[in-house]
Structure 1
Amino acid sequence: MESDSPLSTTANITGILTFAYAILASCLLFLASVRTADSEMQHLLSQTRQTSRHIETLSNYFQDQDLVADIDLAPMRGPIKAALRDWRKTNQALTAQIAKLNDMGPGIRRRVAWWYWQNDILAGMAKLRSEKDDFSALLLTYLSRKIITQEHHLWRLERLVQVTDEQRDTDREGKS
């Protein structure tokens, strides 16, 4: 049996070391990428729970507004309720997904699951922010309409006060 040449042996050793280095680097890179998985999950879970409370507060407010005849809210009611419904649905799905990962318990399995689902969850957070922005735009439109209506009411009230003052002055002059 022939022995390998020194160059062939060196190449084999270099190949084995390169392979070992690649495996080690991959493991270190993976561990570095999932190192903060627990804190990231906790942060996102608290964000979605806070968003849930915010959505419920706004839903209750607009539900109470249904009882009041508000001419400014009437044309906005449908889009506002639809935006709130979509925002709530996205938040609930995202909260459930994060809670499911969070309930796995500590360990490598949870971190691997986080690594696998992280991009989907972050995309869900972006969608959640987008829906919040859409809702905010609707609120600004509603408030703008409300300000214009209130301004008109104040103008009419001011005009009424002026007319009343003029009538009172006329009545005083007539009695004198």
Structure 2
Amino acid sequence: AFINSLTEAQQKVAIASSTKSNESMKAGAFSDNATQAYEGLRGDRLTTAQKRKLLAIVEVFVSRAKADVARARMAEISRHLADTYVTWAGGIADDAAFYVRVHSPVVWVEVDCQGPGPLAGAYGATQGGDPTQLHVHSIIRTPNGNDYGKELLRQHYLTSPHHT
């Protein structure tokens, strides 16, 4: 609904690729404290209706928290909507495999349709390793939020000359 709410000009900015590779996720496993350049269409370029659709993507993840926590988090994310970027890869048809990243100073959400993997037959996702909506990875993170627990003391010892 979000990508199809964009004008053709907006889609040209938001869609990084009209094809979807097997795995596009940038913030998944083994990417502790990852940094990613902002890419795509800025939130301040969206209409009010488009902003609601973009926030609805994030709300799917945020709403899993207790209601008061989710409301506070969504308020924080909404305050940064002008500084939020959305990028897309893949098709825009309802059944097309796609990748979407919503990225701001306070939230990083990714939804990534991936190749079916080794258990594909058990889940009916047997398209020869091509990305499918039947095998989706998703994540919500806090950019630069130390959400994987960076070893700050170890980093200090390795980078401070007075410990050599």
What is the TM-score with the length of structure 1 in the denominator?
A: 0.25
Structure with greater proportional helix content:
1
- Report which of the two structures shows the higher radius of gyration computed on alpha carbons: 1
